[in-house]
């Protein structure tokens, strides 16, 4: 469904991405593992249309090129991004954030239906629907960010470090919710530092290092991979 190849991205002279090639199949959950500065966020931003990649990059989604589309048009093709730091509208209410989630043309007619799913997934948001988002906890704000992205009826949901800064018990809840989203048939592309959690819900994974993809495999093989264990899973519980 998503085919990325030859994706390079420079910030001045610094190469954030170097000929990256990844693929996400329909309904597939793919995780990208890598240290800070490996270019994982840049990859999601390039796909989402927030950062323009270098010339020669190819980003195809359902046979359509996204390379020259601005972010608001990429969303219309069915790709939603939950950015690092969540990017919610803190000065607006939960309900307003969700309503804006369905601002895209593809989503407007189905807003009520999408909202029902989001509230079923995150019942807490229904209780807090008229609360201003910047008065909520980090975990709740992450629910708003994911709920808002789901309102646009994406076929591919991208999440950039969704567990960052959340308490362990909240992270568990978060990944259970992501598992339920996956069951709905959405494809997920997740950049995550919590390797064990993300591999547990993933089908496949890529290893990223200094802007390059250095390895890939099924979630199971990566979990058992010596190098991965050493780099990401060693010592930590």
Partner 1 sequence: MLVTALLSGLVLGGTYALVAMGLTLQYGIARIMNLAYGEMIISAAFLAYVIYTGYGINPVLGLLITIPAGFAFGYVIYGVMMKPLVARARDKASLEIDSILATFGLLFVIQGVLLVTFGANFTSYNYLNVAVELFGTNVAANRLLALVLALTVGGALYLLLTRTLWGTALRAVAVSPASAPLVGIDVNKAARYAFAIGGGLAAAGGVVISMYQTFTATSGVVFTMKALIVVIMGGVGNVVGALSAGLILGVVETFVATYVDPGLTLAATYGIFLAVLLWRPSGLFGRRAG
Q: Does 75 bind partner 1 (CB under 8 A)?
A: yes
The residue range among 21-29, 75-83, 164-172, 183-191 that interacts with partner 1, by the rule CB under 8 A, is 75-83
Closer Cβ to partner 1, 99 or 223, answer by number: 99
Q: Does 88 bind partner 1 (CB under 8 A)?
A: yes
Find, among 117, 171, 179, 170, the residue nearest to 148 by Cα.
117
Closer Cβ to partner 1, 99 or 231, answer by number: 99
| Category of 12 on φ-ψ map: left (φ > 0), alpha (ψ -120 to 50) or beta | left
| Residue numbers 179-218 binding partner 1 by CB under 8 A | none
Among residues 105, 109, 116, 227, the one that binds partner 1 under rule CB under 8 A: 105
Is 150 exposed, middle or buried, given 0-12, 13-18 or 19+ CB atoms closer than 10 A? buried
Q: Show the tokens assigned to 156.
A: 């591919």
Q: Does 87 bind partner 1 (CB under 8 A)?
A: yes
Alpha carbon distance 3, 156 (integer Å) = 12
Backbone phi, psi, residue 36, to 5°: -55, 140
Q: Does 154 bind partner 1 (CB under 8 A)?
A: no
Contacts of 29 (CB under 8 A, 6+ apart): 182, 187, 188, 190, 201, 202, 203, 204
The residue range among 5-13, 104-112, 167-175, 206-214 that interacts with partner 1, by the rule CB under 8 A, is 104-112
Closer Cβ to partner 1, 59 or 202, answer by number: 59
Residues 55, 61, 66, CA angle at the centre, nearest 5°? 35
Closer Cβ to partner 1, 135 or 214, answer by number: 135
Q: Show the tokens assigned to 70.
A: 């601005």
Q: Does 78 bind partner 1 (CB under 8 A)?
A: no
Alpha carbon distance 139, 116 (integer Å) = 20
Q: Does 148 bind partner 1 (CB under 8 A)?
A: yes
Question: By CB under 8 A, how many residues form the interface with partner 1?
Answer: 31
The residue range among 34-42, 95-103, 174-182, 198-206 that interacts with partner 1, by the rule CB under 8 A, is 95-103
Q: Does 2 bind partner 1 (CB under 8 A)?
A: no
Q: Does 49 bind partner 1 (CB under 8 A)?
A: yes
Cβ atoms < 10 Å from Cβ of 97: 22
Residues at the contact surface with partner 1, assessed by CB under 8 A: 48-50, 70-72, 75-76, 80-81, 83, 87-92, 96, 99-101, 103-105, 107-108, 132, 148-149, 151-152
């Amino acid at each position: 469904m998503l085919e990325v190849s030859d994706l390079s991205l420079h910030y001045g002279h610094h190469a954030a991405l170097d000929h990256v090639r990844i693929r996400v199949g329909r309904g597939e959950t793919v995780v990208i593992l890598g240290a800070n500065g490996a270019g994982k966020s840049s990859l999601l931003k390039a796909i989402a249309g927030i950062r323009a990649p270098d010339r020669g990059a190819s980003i195809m989604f359902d046979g359509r090129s996204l390379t020259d589309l601005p972010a608001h048009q990429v969303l219309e093709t069915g790709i939603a991004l939950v950015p690092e730091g969540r990017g919610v509208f803190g000065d607006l209410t939960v309900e307003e954030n969700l309503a804006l989630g369905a601002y895209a043309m593809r989503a407007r007619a189905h807003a009520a239906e999408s909202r029902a799913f989001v509230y079923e997934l995150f019942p807490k948001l229904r209780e807090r629907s008229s609360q201003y988002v910047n008065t909520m906890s980090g975990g709740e704000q992450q629910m708003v960010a994911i709920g808002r992205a789901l309102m646009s009826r994406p076929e591919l949901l991208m999440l950039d470090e969704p567990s960052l800064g959340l308490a362990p018990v909240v992270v568990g809840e978060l990944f259970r919710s992501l598992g339920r989203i996956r069951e709905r048939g959405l494809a997920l592309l997740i950049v995550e530092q919590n390797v064990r959690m993300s591999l547990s819900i993933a089908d496949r994974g890529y290893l990223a290092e200094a802007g390059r993809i250095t390895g890939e495999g099924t979630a199971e093989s990566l979990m058992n991979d010596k190098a991965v264990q050493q780099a990401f899973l060693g010592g930590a519980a």
